[in-house]
Structures are given as C-alpha cells and as structure tokens.
Amino acid sequence: MASKKRTSRKSSGAGKGKAGLSGNPQRRAEQLLGRAFAEHEHEPYAPAPRTRSRYSPPDWWQESHEAILARVRGTEWPAGLLDMEALAGEIVGDEFHARIAAPEARGLYPSQWLDALTSMAVDAVNVDVATRGGDWPRLWAFLRGLHEGEARLELAAIRLAERGLTPPVPAACQPTGELLLARDAYGTRFLLAASFIPNDPSPSRAPSHWYAWDLDWCATANVMAAGPCSSPAQALDEWRTAVGPAATASELTTCTPDLARLVLHPALALGTIWETLYGTEPRPLMREYFRLNHRAVLLADYLADHFPDKVADEPPGDEEDDPHALPQGDAMQSFLDWHFERNDAPDRIRNLTALALEPLIDQWTPFLSPDKDLFYACSPHRIEVTGILLRDDYDPDEANAALQLLPDWVQWCAERTGLAPEPAARSLEAARAQAAIVVDENHVPDPDRDPFARQE
C-alpha cells in the first residue's frame, strides 16, 4: 500500500525557497519541472540553454555586464591560458556572486546571463576595432579566458585580420584520459582529478596540468569546489581538509571512464534543468563556476569519443532494464530478513514494519546516483535529510514509524558497506537523533530551509 502524503504541506512554489523537495527520484523530478515552469511563468526571461530569447532579460543583467566590461578594460591581462581563465573567472564570478547573494534575486540563469555577456563583449571588440580603440586586446583575452562565443569570436577575428590585427590565441587544453578518484568513508563525497595538456604540437608547449572537482553526492549532486592544481597530491590534501575526518584515510585511485562521467554530472549542469543555485554559494566557487563546467564538458566529450561503449549519457535511473538500477526492492526484502533475524516478531508485525519501511526507502533513495554503492551510503547529512523529508512529506503516524526504523536501517547499510567503526558510530548517532524528533499534525515545513543545499 502506498504511503499517504501530508495534505497540509505547503507548496514550495517559485523563487529561491526549495524546502520540501522529495527524495523519491520520479516525484522530485516532477517537482523540479513544476517549479521550473512556475518560475518561468513569472520571469520576463524564460531560459533556453545557450540560446537567445525573444523576451527581455532582467534589468540587472545589463548593469552587471557593463560593470564587468569596465573592469576588463581596466585590467592588465596575462598571456597564458590558465592565467586568462583564472582572471576571467574572478571578474565574472565576483559580479555574479554579488548578484545571487542579493535579497530577492531574480533571473538567476547563469548560462543565459553568460551568453548575453559574451554577446556584449564581442560587440565591444568590434566597436573598439572599428573606432581604432585600444581596449580590444583586453576584451579579447577576457573572451578567450571564458571559452565562450567561439563562433562570434571567429567572425571578430576575421574583422581584425582585415585591419592587419592579430589577436592573441593561447593554445586550448584537452584531456589526456588520465583520471584519478577519491571517495570519503561514507562513499558520498568524491574528488575527481583529470589531467589536461595544451593542444599545441610545438616543442615549447606548456606542461600538462591537473584539474580537480570536489563533488558531493550525499543528498543530491553538488559541486563544492573546483580548480587547477599542481598535482593530484595537492588536490587530495586540500580535499581532505575540506571534507574533514571522513576523508582522512581516502586515497586517489585510477577511475574508470564510465564512473568519471557519471560522477561529473553536477559539473555538467550549466544551462540544464539540473542546475541549481541557492544564493549561498561561496565566492571561490563562483569564480570557478564557468571554468569547472567548461572543463567538465571537455572531459565528458573526450570520454564519450574515446570510450563510447563504456560511458553512459545519464546517471543510472530506476528502470527495470537498467543494469545500474538502484536496488530498492531487493533492499527492502533483505533488510526485513535482517531485521527479523535480530527481532523475532509475528508476521503481523513484519507487515507493519514493511509498511513503515516503504516511505523510508522512498526518501532515502538518491535522486541520481553514479553507482549502486551510493544507495547504501549512510552519511550523517544524508540521514538528516531523510529525517527532514519524512517529517515534511508524510502523515505523522507514517513519518514517526519510518523514523523509528531509521537507526536499524543505518546499521544495516553500514554493515553492507563495511563502514569503519568511527564513521558508523557518527551515523548511528545521527539516526537516533532523527528518530527522537517526533512529528505531529502541527508540523509545518520550513519554507526557507533546503536540506539539499551545499553543506560547508
């Protein structure tokens, strides 16, 4: 019998408040789509990835673009690609970070905002060249650092050549296929490092470098940080510091192309329905926001081209014919067998336990997952999110029954994954804390709390 949803629950509606998203993959996808349509219905600019719209953008877009180009014109630009990328990301990220952190921020569609900025910058290059100004090299370096508007840049380059001007074109980089991955003790936080090399055949080309993504798959898929690094060891040290005790014993190992592509999913979200901004992103992340996406696209395309039989287009779903499908049904039966080996009870009680287990698994199941192992991962944050969703999504009796099972469920998951004693103890403590929070009919979801938001 399907569990009943709370009828008193308020709709999350449009805007930045995203509390109460379901943990069930199908239902949460429907909620995200519904929210997207609701937002676009009230927005003057409906986003269409990487395309211009017939609607006028929000007023602040032009203000922000003009502020960026003014800073670009007043900045001395380096010649190397990595330095160009870093400076362009700093200028763009600082401005966009200030905008998303503003109260009542609207029109937060980064890919469209960036596309409009690129168009304005290319137009500025053309105007500056036509009027024999001196700013076009800086504007050009800025565009090269963003890796945007390649087709428009080619047309601008033709106009420059017609005037006898040669724009600087640093060598682009390309992946080498060398991939390393680290995973924290709970199996929900990833460090993916990929080697890149300049696409330059000359003997004097710059040395290869590494780019790393810190990816959190705990409750949903988020990029926590990203950037170039001098070595995988440096990336691992910084990642361990950021993640904390759960990553102390983690090591980098060779990563398969299919896992790398699936783990990268949140870094590929720019301009798609999966992209989510909370308004609380740290400035360093926003400075890398567009580069981390560009590098992820380069790597994903490389993997698809070189390993077409091994790289999936989308993260595993819950379809029956999907070899990566998450094991909800098998898990329910296996847990019930385990549970009643430990707690001898009549069949009537077993049936009631099965009914209580259904909403727990429903909200526990990750919306997306790079592999089956993530289904059993039981980090404290994931446990907290599950507790919030149960209290917000279900009638009190069902929520409380499911919460009472949560400590045993976490114990079972910890045994399935071989979780070490110390992190397992932290998880059990978190599960007992959630089970102790009893919900009643007066419970109202917090409209300003999003359990899926990035956790510092």
Q: What pLDDT does 205 receive? A: 58
Q: What pLDDT does 200 receive? A: 66
pLDDT in tens, 331-369: 888 998 898 888 766 666 778 888 899 999 999 987 778
User: What is the domain extent for residue 147?
Assistant: 43-162
16 found inside a domain: no
d(CA 275, CA 269): 5
1 found inside a domain: no
* φ/ψ (deg, to 5) at 418: 70, 35
| Dihedral-angle region of residue 103 (phi above 0 means left; psi in -120 to 50 means alpha; beta otherwise) | beta
Same domain, 199 and 296: yes
Burial class (CB in 10 A: 0-12, 13-18, 19+), 158: exposed
Q: What pLDDT does 335 receive? A: 92
Same domain, 207 and 282: yes
- For the record, the structure tokens of 127 come out as 């105007």
* φ/ψ (deg, to 5) at 350: -60, -40
DSSP string computed for 234-292: HHHHHHHHHH-GGGTT---EE--HHHHHHHTGGGG-TTSTT----S---HHHHHHHHHH
Same domain, 285 and 178: yes
Q: What pLDDT does 294 receive? A: 94
Question: How many CB atoms sit inside 10 A of residue 301's CB?
Answer: 12
Instruction: Mark which of 273, 306, 339 sits at the end of a domain.
Output: 306
Burial class (CB in 10 A: 0-12, 13-18, 19+), 135: middle
pLDDT in tens, 98-147: 988 887 677 678 888 999 999 999 999 989 988 888 899 999 999 999 98
Same domain, 148 and 180: no
Same domain, 243 and 337: no
241 found inside a domain: yes
Q: 353 or 87: whose pLDDT is higher?
A: 87
What's the mean per-residue pLDDT of the chain? 81
Task: Give the number of domains in the chain.
Answer: 3
What confidence category does residue 50 fall into, taking pLDDT thresholds of 50, 70 and 90?
A: very low
What confidence category does residue 47 fall into, taking pLDDT thresholds of 50, 70 and 90?
A: very low
Same domain, 353 and 405: yes
Q: What pLDDT does 163 receive? A: 82
Residue 314 pLDDT exceeds 70:
no
Same domain, 256 and 138: no
